[in-house]
A and B are shown apart, each in its own frame.
Chain A
């Protein structure tokens, strides 16, 4: 696994990047006991983290080098938690970019359990695309 394609927090969770192509990313994670809440099922924060990472990367796959100059950042997210998952379950998250604009991008993600394919969670995210580079050029030029 290429660590450069995984943020420090994704590495901390333990997600694996399975596929990345234009506007699409698939990540997976085998749930461990430390990914749970007091009820022994997956903590909601684990799957929202995976969805956020999948979409951040899916957007990166479309933006390429431009994403390094002018990074994108999550500004809004919503998630519906549809079924519980437990340690030992493998969670597969697919992220798809819905629209990439000049300053804003939208994407959606689905989390399913590998094997039976049950839908665990679904989310939609909005990202802001910074215009640092352009701003600086304007300031320098202006």
Chain B
């Protein structure tokens, strides 16, 4: 993706400075280098940066999973997420978020995301649930 495409894909993902490294059906990998504006007072990464990365990575993995049977998909929206923060990343660390889709149904999709430190240690783990909106675009006007 070009920078302009990436910005269009998700303005918030672009704004926080994460990079989409890989995206294929049911899988996506994003990375981010922790900078000063991503931190708490003590230099550790803010939990919201990690949850943002997770939501973006999983959204991309789900998006990439849509096949010919999904041409009625209008979009998806996060309905629930939980995150365990296991080991805080710090200023300068490059963290990698890997999202795997666990199941995709007609209306719901569930996936999990692991965020790792440069050493490979797990920084956080999360599970997210999405609602998939389907229908015909012309019939969906509100």
Report which A residues bind B (CB closer than 8 A): 7-13, 33-39, 41, 43-46, 48-50, 52-53, 56, 71, 73-81, 84
Contact = CB atoms under 8 A, between A and B. Distances in A.
A71 B36 CA distance: 18
A49 B15 contact: no
Contacts of B63: 38
Given A43-B55, A45-B51, A45-B52, A8 B36 contact: yes
Interface stretch (B3-11, B64-72, B114-122): B3-11
A73 B90 CA distance: 13
Given A45-B12, A49-B48, A9 B77 contact: no
Interface of B: 8-16, 36-42, 44, 46-49, 51-56, 59, 63, 75, 77-86, 88
A81 B80 contact: yes
A49 B51 contact: yes
Contacts of A11: 37
Nearest to A35: B12
A77 B52 CA distance: 13
A46 B77 contact: no
Contact of B85 (A43, A46, A75): A75
Contacts of B77: 39, 41, 81, 84
A71 B88 CA distance: 13
B142 to A, nearest CB: 11
A96 B105 CA distance: 36
Nearest to B80: A80
A133 to B, nearest CB: 14
Contacts of A46: 12, 48, 52
B80 A45 contact: no
Given A7-B41, A8-B37, A76-B83, A37 B47 contact: no
A43 B13 contact: yes
